[in-house]
């Protein structure tokens, strides 16, 4: 009887050992499946090692991160270089545009505003046309030129006659009863606007026995000061056909 119980006890022990081995095998299989799944997700080859492949994956990830950091630093450096270049070009463009506007202003291609004088010349209609000296009572082209020249000499910076800007190529001449200014006819009264120092301009025009003083013998002359005189831009042709700029001589050449 004791032998029977002894055999049963030994079989019970064997059953427990077998069950534990089965559980350990199941855990080992699950672990292997988990490692295989992780290798597949990371794109790593299958192997028998457990820790080395993870270390290698981390190393590759670190290398990739370092390369990305280097690329980002390089792109940032290029971006700063481009920004500096654009800033430099912007400053150069601003400087060139400023010079261009100054040149256009000096050429009379832009409107101007400032203090100055307004001179009005008109025919003296109170005199008889049949008088021997009737030409003295009519405004002529040379009267306009004389006033303009006197204003330039007194420091005028911008001049117009009946809203025609006077520039270097402006021609003032008589055609019948009218005056041609910049190729366009205009008639009396002639309103001459000049921008500059009002005192200097008016003083130059009112010199005793000067240009305007002699005009007053026949035609009507009126001079006024102004603080906000506007002179329009030149609207005539600005192209040239025959004149060419002379090349600048380099240093050391004759």
Single out the residue of 110, 211, 139, 151 nearest to residue 159, CA to CA: 151
| Co-location of 123 and 15 in the same domain | no
| Co-location of 124 and 25 in the same domain | no
| Co-location of 24 and 122 in the same domain | no
Q: What are phi and psi of 178, to 5 degrees?
A: -105, 165
In a domain, 37, yes or no: no
Provide the edge-to-edge strand list for the sheet that holds 184-186: 172-175, 178-181, 184-186
Strand ranges for the chain from DSSP E = 112-122, 158-161, 164-165, 172-175, 178-181, 184-186, 190-195, 220-231
Tell me how many domains the chain contains: 2
> Given this model, what pLDDT does residue 241 score?
86
In a domain, 89, yes or no: no
Instruction: Look at 195 and 84; give whichever has higher pLDDT.
Output: 195
* Residue 231 near residue 159 (C-beta atoms within 8 A): yes
Residue 69 has pLDDT above 90, yes or no: no
> Given this model, what pLDDT does residue 4 score?
41
The CATH number of the domain holding residue 227 is 3.30.70.1880
Name which of 17-21, 90-94, 100-104 the model is least confident about.
17-21
CA distance 200 to 208: 15
In a domain, 183, yes or no: yes
Instruction: Look at 228 and 15; give whichever has higher pLDDT.
Output: 228
In a domain, 155, yes or no: yes
Q: What are phi and psi of 187, to 5 degrees?
A: -125, 170
| Co-location of 124 and 23 in the same domain | no
> Given this model, what pLDDT does residue 97 score?
78
**What tens digit of pLDDT does each residue of 142-180 get?**
999 999 999 999 999 999 999 999 998 899 998 887 899
Residue 105 has pLDDT above 60, yes or no: yes
| Co-location of 129 and 226 in the same domain | yes
In a domain, 42, yes or no: no
Residue 46 has pLDDT above 50, yes or no: yes
Q: How many residues does the chain have?
A: 254
What pTM was computed for the model?
0.63
CA distance 91 to 86: 9
For residue 24, what is the enclosing H or E element? Answer: helix 2-42
Residue 231 has pLDDT above 50, yes or no: yes
In a domain, 245, yes or no: no
In a domain, 83, yes or no: no
Determine the structural domain holding residue 13 and report its residue range: 1-30
Strand partners, 160: 165, 193
| Co-location of 125 and 220 in the same domain | yes
Instruction: Enter the tokens of residue 113.
Output: 């505003």
Please give the DSSP secondary-structure letter assigned to residue 180. Answer: E
Instruction: Enter the tokens of residue 144.
Output: 């306009």
In a domain, 157, yes or no: yes
| Co-location of 119 and 223 in the same domain | yes
Name which of 4-8, 77-81, 101-105, 130-134 the model is least confident about.
4-8
CA distance 222 to 121: 7
Instruction: Enter the tokens of residue 108.
Output: 């009379």
């Amino acid at each position: 009887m004791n032998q029977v119980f002894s055999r049963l006890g030994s079989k019970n022990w064997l059953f427990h050992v077998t069950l534990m081995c089965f559980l350990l095998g199941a855990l080992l299989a699950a672990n292997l499946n988990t490692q295989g799944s992780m290798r597949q997700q990371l794109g790593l080859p299958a192997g028998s090692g457990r820790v080395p492949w993870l270390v290698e994956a981390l190393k590759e990830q670190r290398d990739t991160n370092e390369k990305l950091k280097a690329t980002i630093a390089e792109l940032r450096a290029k971006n700063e270089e481009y920004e500096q270049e654009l800033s430099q070009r912007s400053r150069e463009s601003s400087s060139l545009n400023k010079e261009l506007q100054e040149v256009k202003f000096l050429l009379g291609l832009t409107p101007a505003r400032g203090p100055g004088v307004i001179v009005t010349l008109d025919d003296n209609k109170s005199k008889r046309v049949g008088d021997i000296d009737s030409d003295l009572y009519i405004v002529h082209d040379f009267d306009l030129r004389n006033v303009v020249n006197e204003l330039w000499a007194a420091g005028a910076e911008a001049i117009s006659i009946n809203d025609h800007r006077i520039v270097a190529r402006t021609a003032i001449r008589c055609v019948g009863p009218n005056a041609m200014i910049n190729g366009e006819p205009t008639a009396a009264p002639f309103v001459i606007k000049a921008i500059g120092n009002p005192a200097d301009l008016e003083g130059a025009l009112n010199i005793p026995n000067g240009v305007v003083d002699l005009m007053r013998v026949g035609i009507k002359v009126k001079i006024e000061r102004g603080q906000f005189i506007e002179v329009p831009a030149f609207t005539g042709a600005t192209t040239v056909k025959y004149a060419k700029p002379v090349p600048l001589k380099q240093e050391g050449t004759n």
